[in-house]
């Protein structure tokens, strides 16, 4: 009926329709003279519609049959390969690699893992005169399609319908295409992309900002942005509080080059051997791949939960449960790898800094990205403030303070640990003994105070006194740690000896005074 309506509308507009098969002309004049020809047109339309339906049905069944064979024995459906593969029908149907295109795909994944955003990837490809697959210029959408296409892993996902009605049919068919990258590489790229999205990284620069997404203003906790005020010696690049630039905060700008000296110190204090050591780097890559899988599984779980909320389905309920199990397993694997990574501690800062320089970690775009990504993975955030005499850095892991760093105008950098673990790392690397000196002074002060007051302090009371003094020098040590026990033992021993001597001396003096009076 729709065809007839359209047919009539065309005729009403004084347009003549001629069918090529039977060469009949349909016009307003012809139909007024002999309306029976309209019956012939209706019959033709009906036959064409039926033939089209039959053909569509046959094509649909043929495609369904091909997809079933693809799922059962990986039989190629036809020329439906991604652009880095080529379909051949002889001597037998198969997909073969287009090596030039595969190299481009691998290059895109490699640049993504190294921290390049889509804009810089396009710039790199164009500068290297690498053509796109369709002879058009590279675009962000084409880069994204490649990065999210699981066909690179050899998977084929059958679909049904077209456009908005296009829906996946069953699970992806693994091993259908030749895989051109590893699963670890695929998931590392997904995690790199997700990290950029979370951090809100948009502006692409030639030199990656190591503080991106991990630094905050110590005064108002707003983000610190890079502000370029020209080239040295007259100008420089600074970290500036976003609110201060709007006049909403009084924080001063911090020179980027000076802040990066502290950034190296921070890397030495956190578990960052993966930047310079192959064994740790391997573990780090495994963690990144797992984080990529976790991101994808969490996304799937959210979609299933949303669909389940709209309409209950036992199948969806099972899928949510399966996602929960996968996420739990991956989380446990990640935790185990993080423990392995943390087991290798940095004890020699000079050696660590030398290897950072040798590897170009803080001079190359890729190295700076890796260092930044490491802090994000460890959930490290740094609050920074420049005072009249020093610049202070407070490191937190989640909501817990772990380390304080003071950068003096002279270039001297002092570290103050807020936790027992950090204290061990600081002491292991602290060649000038500033931390140990602070603790030794604390021991002397507590002991002297107790002796002067002729007190005997031990047990919980002594632990509380030690804890209060440690807070005063901004050093946190767990009560059950070996360091805390060492401090307790020294004070116990010192005060007992000192008080006994003092009491004996005082008693002797009082005895003499009494004798003189008598």
pLDDT score recorded for residue 3 = 67
**Token digits for 353?**
């800094």
Closest to 422 measured CA to CA, from 270, 293, 279: 270
Please tell me the least confidently modeled range out of 126-140, 301-315, 320-334, 482-496: 482-496
240/251 Cα distance (integer angstroms): 8
pLDDT tens-digit readout, 20-61: 776 777 777 776 766 666 677 667 766 666 666 566 656 555
pLDDT tens track for 58-85: 655 555 666 666 666 667 777 778 899 9
Mean predicted confidence (pLDDT) in 458-467: 68
Residue range 153-182: mean pLDDT, rounded? 82
Which residues in 293-319 are b (16+ Cβ under 10 Å) and which e? bbbbbeebbeebeeebeeeeeeebeeb
C-alpha span between 246 and 251 (Å, rounded): 11
- Tokens 């919980």 sit on residue: 460
| For residues 457-467, average pLDDT | 68
β partners of residue 255: 238
Average pLDDT over residues 149-177: 81
The predicted model gives 139-157 an average pLDDT of: 90
Q: What is the pLDDT of residue 472?
A: 56
pLDDT for the residue 202: 46
Write phi, then psi, for 200 (nearest 5 degrees).
70, 30
Q: How far apart are CA 158 and CA 177, in angstroms?
A: 13
The pLDDT score that the predictor gives to residue 347 is: 47
Mean pLDDT within 321-329: 88
- Which pLDDT value is given to residue 432? 47
Give the pLDDT band (50/70/90) at residue 378: confident
Which of 98-102, 290-294, 420-424 shows the highest mean pLDDT? 98-102
* % of the chain residues with pLDDT over 90: 14
Confidence band, pLDDT 50/70/90 cuts, at residue 237: very high
Please tell me which residue, 420 or 108, carries the higher pLDDT value. 108
What pLDDT does residue 418 have? Answer: 65
Residues in the chain, overall count: 518
Closest by CA to 385, choosing from 222, 213, 228, 208, is: 222
Q: In terms of pLDDT, which residue wins out, 244 or 268?
A: 244
The string of pLDDT tens digits covering residues 185-234 is: 898 888 888 776 655 554 455 678 899 989 999 999 999 999 988 887 77
Positions of E strands within 30-115: 85-88, 94-97
Per-residue model confidence (pLDDT) at position 431? 42
* Mean pLDDT to the nearest integer, 416-434: 58
User: Residues 297-303: what's their mean pLDDT?
Assistant: 87
Mean pLDDT for the stretch of residues 494-504: 61
Res 241: pLDDT: 94
- The pLDDT of 83-92, averaged and rounded, is 86
Whether the per-residue pLDDT at 278 is higher than 60: the answer is no
Q: What confidence score (pLDDT) does residue 288 get?
A: 80
Asked if 76 and 93 touch (Cβ cutoff 8 Å), the reply is yes
**299 pLDDT band (50/70/90 cuts)?**
confident
Backbone angles phi, psi at 310, to 5 degrees: -70, -40
In the structure, what pLDDT confidence band is assigned to residue 257 with cuts at 50, 70 and 90? very high
Say yes or no to pLDDT of 252 above 90. yes
Q: What is the Cα–Cα distance from 221 to 223, expressed in whole angstroms? A: 7
Q: What is the mean pLDDT of residues 256-271?
A: 85
**Tens digit of each residue's pLDDT (9 = 90 or more) over 97-127:** 999 999 999 999 988 888 788 888 998 888 8
Average pLDDT score over the chain: 76
Listed residue (278, 223, 283) closest to 249, CA to CA:
223
Q: In the chain, how long is the greatest CA-to-CA distance?
A: 155
Global pTM value: 0.52
The DSSP code for 464 is: H
Residues 435-449 have a mean pLDDT of 62
Residue 327 confidence (pLDDT) above 80: yes
Check pLDDT > 90 for residue 255. Answer: yes
* pLDDT category of residue 330 using cuts at 50, 70 and 90: confident
Band of the pLDDT at 478, cuts 50, 70, 90? low
């Amino acid at each position: 009926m729709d065809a007839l309506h359209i047919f009539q509308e065309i005729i009403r507009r004084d347009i003549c329709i001629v069918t090529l098969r039977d060469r009949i002309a349909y016009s307003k004049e012809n139909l007024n003279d002999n309306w029976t020809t309209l019956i012939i047109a209706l019959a033709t339309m009906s036959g064409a519609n039926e033939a089209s339906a039959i053909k569509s049905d046959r094509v649909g069944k043929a495609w369904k049959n091909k997809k079933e064979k693809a799922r059962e024995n990986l039989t190629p459906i036809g020329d439906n390969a991604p652009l880095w593969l080529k379909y051949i029908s002889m001597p037998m149907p198969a997909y073969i690699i287009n090596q030039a295109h595969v190299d481009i795909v691998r290059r895109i994944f490699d640049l993504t893992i190294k921290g390049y955003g889509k804009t810089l990837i396009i710039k790199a490809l164009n500068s290297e005169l690498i053509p796109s697959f369709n002879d058009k210029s590279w675009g962000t959408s084409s880069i994204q399609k490649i990065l999210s296409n699981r066909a690179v892993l050899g998977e084929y996902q059958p679909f049904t319908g077209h456009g908005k009605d296009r829906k996946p049919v069953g699970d992806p068919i693994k091993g259908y295409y030749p895989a051109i990258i590893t699963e670890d590489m695929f998931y590392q790229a997904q995690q790199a992309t997700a990290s950029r999205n979370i951090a809100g990284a948009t502006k692409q620069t030639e030199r990656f900002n190591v503080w991106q997404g991990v630094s905050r203003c110590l005064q108002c906790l707003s983000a610190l942005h890079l502000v370029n005020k020209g080239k040295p010696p007259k100008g420089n690049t600074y970290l500036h509080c976003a609110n201060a630039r709007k006049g909403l905060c009084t924080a001063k700008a911090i020179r980027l080059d000076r802040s990066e000296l502290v950034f190296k110190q921070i890397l030495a204090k956190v578990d960052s051997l993966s930047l310079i050591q192959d064994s740790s780097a391997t573990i780090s890559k495994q963690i990144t791949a797992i984080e990529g899988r976790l991101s994808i599984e969490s996304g799937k779980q959210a979609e299933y939960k949303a669909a389940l909320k709209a309409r209950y389905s036992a199948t969806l309920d099972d899928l949510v449960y399966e996602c929960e199990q996968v996420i739990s397993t991956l989380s446990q694997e990640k935790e185990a790898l993080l423990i392995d990574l943390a087991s290798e501690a940095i004890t020699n800062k000079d050696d660590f800094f030398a290897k950072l320089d040798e590897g170009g970690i803080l001079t190359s775009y890729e190295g700076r990205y890796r260092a930044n990504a490491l802090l994000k993975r460890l959930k490290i955030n740094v609050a920074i403030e420049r005072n009249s005499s020093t610049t202070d850095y407070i490191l937190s892991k989640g909501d817990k303070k772990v380390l304080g760093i003071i950068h003096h105008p002279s270039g001297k950098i002092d570290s103050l640990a807020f936790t027992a673990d950090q204290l061990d790392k600081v002491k292991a690397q602290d060649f000038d003994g500033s931390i140990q000196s602070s603790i030794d002074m604390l021991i002397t002060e507590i002991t002297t105070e107790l002796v002067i007051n002729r007190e005997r302090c031990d047990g919980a009371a002594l632990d509380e006194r030690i804890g209060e003094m440690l807070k005063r020098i901004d050093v946190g040590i767990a009560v059950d740690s070996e360091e805390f026990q060492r401090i307790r033992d020294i004070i116990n021993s010192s005060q007992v000896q000192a008080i006994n001597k003092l009491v004996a001396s005082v008693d002797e003096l009082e005895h003499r005074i009494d004798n003189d009076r008598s």
